[in-house]
Amino acid sequence: MSTVWNDTDIPGMIAATGGVPCTIGGYAGMCLMDLNDSILIQDSNRGQVVAGAPMLTVQTSAFPSLDIDTPVTVDGKNYTVRERLRYGDSGLTKLFLGQ
């Protein structure tokens, strides 16, 4: 069973769990940064690679532009969105970042 967050609860949850200021596509807010997450890359022949990637968890409704290649700034470091994954009720989105 997935947790369903009320949209008004999400900013408090992010702040209580170590949120950091971020800017995504010109919109500022709080995010959860994980510098050591990983992403699984597979091809049609069943080959796969697990690659390390910085990941940002954001409140989906707080950032209108979460498109691929959108500029992101976290703690003074610049990134771009490489991939996005919405999960649960889509109240939160995970953004895999590149530099």
CATH of the domain at 65: 2.40.10
Q: How far is CA 95 from CA 3, 13, 53, 85, in A?
A: 19, 18, 10, 6
Name the maximum alpha-carbon separation found in the chain: 44
Cα 88 to its chain centre, rounded Å, is 14
Report how far residue 51's alpha carbon sits from residue 36's, in angstroms, rounded to the nearest whole number: 10
- Is 6 strand, coil or helix? coil
* Residue 63, domain extent: 10-98
Number of domains, the chain: 1
Is residue 35 assigned to a domain? Answer: yes
Is residue 71 assigned to a domain? Answer: yes
pLDDT of 73 reads: 96
Is residue 5 assigned to a domain? Answer: no
Is residue 72 assigned to a domain? Answer: yes
Is residue 44 assigned to a domain? Answer: yes
- Is 61 strand, coil or helix? helix
Q: What is the pLDDT along the chain (99 residues), one digit of tens a residue?
A: 455 667 888 888 888 888 999 999 999 999 999 887 777 777 777 778 777 788 999 999 999 889 999 999 998 899 999 989 877 778 899 999 998
Is residue 4 assigned to a domain? Answer: no
Is residue 25 assigned to a domain? Answer: yes
